[in-house]
Amino acid sequence: MRTSIALTGAIALLCGIAWTGRGAAAGEPKHYVLPATPENVQWGWYDVREKPRLTIHSGDTVSIETLSHSLGKIKPGVPMDEIVHLRKQNGGGGPHSITGPIYVEEAEPGDTLEVHILKIVPKDFGFNFNVPGKDFPTVGLLAKQFPDGFVRYFKLDLARMQTEFKPGIIIDLKPFPGTFAVGVDPDEPPAKAGPPIHDEQGRTSTLRPWKNGSNMDVNELQAGATLYFPVFQKGGLIWTGDSHCRQGNGEVNLTALECSYKEIEIRPVVRKDLKTDWPRAETRTDYIFMGFDEDLNEAMKIAVEQTVHWLATQTIVPMSREEAYSLTSLVGDCRVSQVVDIRKGIHCMIPKSIFVGYKPRASKAAAH
């Protein structure tokens, strides 16, 4: 058996995938590593026809490495002119470098994929920029007021989990994946604004968030969070990228503190007993419900509808839809996730502490 495990690991490493068995018993969860090699990372497009870079079972864990924007080409010292060139080089696609896809054997369309974020370990640099408004007049909330663009690079102190914005201003790091996606929704509606969603090859741009997740930019999705996605494609198909080390709600200038990860460790679990129409999440303290639309008011409506539906169907404390609507108005905290991804985002948070007897569970997740 040891020979078999060693041989399997050697083959996986030759294919750019590190494999670590967690035991010899049949069905016991295994741990995998998916490195950000050129073969495993795509730039700005999802293609469900891509051969899976890794195949796992429900309950296995995976440590995924990610790259910064434009296949890692944006790094300290790169000037704004080059950032503009890279932005224009991938017309219609997102700037995001996404690692994947990961195929989960048990996942079928109609299931829910429950994804636990166990650990996030950033690399040691980051950046924030807004592209020139004179070239990109609709990219960024105040694009026309900043015609020349701006970029700043940051050295990340991973021991303290901080970075210096400038002398006198220190920012705590709170890493989370800006983009986390399952395979695309075949019924995703056509673009209401911006470039087409699909290119001539049938690929789907990473620019917009949607029911499969994608460019959600919800800053609560840190280590310890659990995400729930509707499954649209056989195998689920997981990608992640657009890694962030800090972001304010709104992400107003276009980017967060963009970074990359040595690893984001996840555990995907296929749920046959659970149905969801839109992505939602859970942290140690809150239940989170999301809505995305080009119209911020419509995004808010979707997020509130999802909140009310969950409250009216949960069994912790049963309630009517009328009570759920009222409770959302009393304790729901609805925040603007982002306004810069063409489809804007709202996430509504319901605190777990309102439920009598609720005790925060201990979390083994970590961000280093």
CATH of the domain at 153: 2.60.120.580
Distance CA 199, CA 205 (A): 8
Structurally, how many domains does the chain consist of?
A: 1
Average pLDDT over residues 69-85: 97
Rounded Cα–Cα distance for residues 49 and 108 (Å): 16
CA dist list (Å): 235 to 61, 62, 120, 316: 15, 15, 24, 31
Residue 286 lies in a domain: yes
- 55: which residues sit within 8 A by CB, 6+ positions away? 102, 103, 105, 235
**E-assigned strand segments in 159-283:** 162-166, 169-172, 176-181, 204-205, 209-210, 213-214, 226-230, 236-246, 257-258, 261-271, 280-282
Runs of H (alpha helix) within 41-182: 69-72, 80-89
The answer to whether residue 128 is domain-embedded is yes
8 A C-beta contact, residue 342 and residue 139? no
DSSP 77: T
Q: What is the DSSP letter of 198?
A: B
> pLDDT tens digits for 46-59?
999 999 999 999 99
The two tokens of residue 246 are: 């800090």
- Closest C-alpha among 208, 189, 3, 180 to residue 92: 208
pLDDT reading at 8 higher than 70: no
Segment 155-212, tens digit of pLDDT: 999 999 999 999 999 999 999 999 999 999 999 999 999 999 999 999 999 999 999 9
- Give the residue carrying structure tokens 């870079």: 53
Cα separations in angstroms, 214 against 128, 263, 343: 20, 19, 11
Q: If we measure between CA atoms, which residue out of 268, 247, 300, 219 comes closest to residue 127?
A: 247
Cα distances (Å, whole numbers) of residue 142 to 79, 91, 135: 21, 22, 13
Q: Per the domain annotation, does 292 fall within a domain?
A: yes
Report yes or no on 366 lying in a domain.
no
Q: Please report whether residue 275 resides in a domain.
A: yes
Side-chain half-sphere CA neighbours of 124 within 13 A: 5
**Facing residues of 181 across strands?**
213, 239
- The Cα–Cα gap between 217 and 176 comes to 8
Instruction: Please give the structure tokens belonging to residue 296.
Output: 């911020």
Percentage of the residues of the chain whose pLDDT score is greater than 70 = 90
Lowest mean per-residue pLDDT among 10-14, 97-101, 240-244, 297-301 = 10-14
Q: Which DSSP helix (H) or strand (E) runs through 104?
A: strand 97-104
SS3 call for 4: helix
Q: What is the DSSP letter of 60?
A: -
With respect to residue 3, please indicate whether it lies within any of the assigned structural domains. no
pLDDT value at residue 21: 42
Which residue range(s) make up the domain with 307? 35-355
Please tell me the predicted confidence (pLDDT) of residue 357. 78
Assigned domain for 24 exists: no
Beta bridge partners of residue 334, listed in sequence order = 348
**Cis before residue 101, ω within 30 degrees of 0?**
yes
Please indicate, yes or no, if residue 305 is contained in any of the structural domains: yes
Confidence of residue 27 (pLDDT cuts 50, 70, 90): confident
Is 298's pLDDT higher than 70? yes
Average pLDDT over residues 107-113: 98
303 CA to centre of own chain: 17
- The pTM for the full model equals 0.91
Q: Is-contact 307 350, C-beta < 8 A?
A: yes
Out of 5-9, 45-49, 123-127, pick the least confident. Answer: 5-9
